[in-house]
Chain A
Amino acid sequence: MSGVYEGLTVVELADRRNQWAGKLLSDGGARVIQIEPVNGSPGRWCGPFVKDKADPDSCLDYWWNNTGKQSVALDIERKPAQDLLRKLLARADIFLESTAPGTLAKLGLDYGAVAGNRALIYASLTDFGQDGPWRDLQMNDAAHLALGGQMSSTGYSDATVTPIGGQGHQAWHMGCAFVLHGITVALFDRMTSGEGQYIDVSIHDACAIGTEGAVPQWMYYGETMYRQTGMHAAPRRLPPLELPTADGMYVMAVNQAFNKRSWDALLNWMDEKGVTGELRDPKYQEESVRTAEYRQGTLIRDAIRRLIAASNGEECFHRAQASGISWAVIRAAEENYDIPHYKQRDYWRNVEHPQLGRAIPYPRGPFACDELQLEPRGRAPNLGEHTQQVLAHDLDLTAQEIAALTAVGAIK
């Protein structure tokens, strides 16, 4: 068994936008050589840090997004370092970069300059792509969620409250998903053609098609969506589905249908909590009647709200699901560690951290599949941890040459 990207060499120019894509290439078995500035990738300086002490080798966001990679610290502003990078690219399969358009052309490292390696797949993941009137604007992840439309659909039902962009660099993740599509398709093509190619992905483009119903609703009906607390934006105001529980949690009470089995279970549960109200009226035994009541009325919705308010979060989740109702409890990310289901699915991977003197369980990766085998291949590298090794073994530099480059500050 080996990973889907086994045997490939990726050169990644360190950046916060592309690092999750590089991580998934590494998780799939590729050798990912990350080229960092001598003072470290910007991804090493954002935090959170181990014990909140700022240090480029202790940034947990960097740890997560760079599992299994190798770190080579090179100042690519300098000519000798540019030559080294060009040599690495001459034998690489994939180049993953996120510099502002035009930057690498000035350094003699644009696609045209390195396409002598005809098999090279050169992938640029940038804020706006390589062309267009907004190409050079200044952006970050939250700015993308604003401009791309995510914020406009997210927030609270109170129209006076700010729209919200969620945390965790999800705009960058969306861009990474598409750059990985492109790279993987290009690899598929290369197996037949032997040729690499240039891939241009814009985070703004990716976000812009990622707002679910908002765009079609506008295109077809000219309708604008309302933000609604904790739920889908919609062209109409809808009653709340994010409901508080007895133990201070919230339940997402998404209801698709009340068939006989789930209706009976719901009524029994409501009886237990004494919140059934009039719902034992025989007319609600008819599915169409209860469906119409749910759609237009308040009786069922109010009873569900009282039921959830009288129950604990875990109780809501399991009892609803056992009756075929797809409710969820809103958990914190860290609370998933205690759940047997994910352990049964072998979801956690222990990654050794000598700095801590112990291993930490990391999420496995998005898919369970032995043939793809996406999983962390080891901890993130320390800054410049592999500079010597890569220069000496991959590029055949002598110890004197390496020492000279170090002395002038071109490498670390």
Chain B
Amino acid sequence: MVKLNFNDIKEGDQIPSLTKEPITQIQLVKYAGASGDFNPIHTIPEYAKEAGLDGTIAHGMIVMGMLGQMISNWVGVKPVKEFSVSFKAITRPGDILTAKGEVKRKIENADGKSIAIKVQIEDQKGEVKVGGKAVIKID
């Protein structure tokens, strides 16, 4: 984790990316238990097929969690003031996700200094699964 220096940051700077291990079915079972989201569409292939899918799909929130991991790897959690995402595409077991981000804007106002970053996570084919933004305060 780094302590950011406002003067050293430029709009367009890339933040350190994060490539994850392939998503596994057992990981989705673990995530169901951890988060308390037991929708069987994530864990039981037969149920997912009845719902018209090819198989189970990942919880959107595990993918947001991976974006969060990239952010907290970089700056921890204390400086993060906002983090929001839109879910854009389905993630399936076997997908290999890479989280990326860049500095969009430097902000200096009565509340102090902060940066707005744009984040997104895509699969091995470049399909964006989740996109969003975060605001990071800099002391």
Q: Do A and B interact with each other, yes or no?
A: no
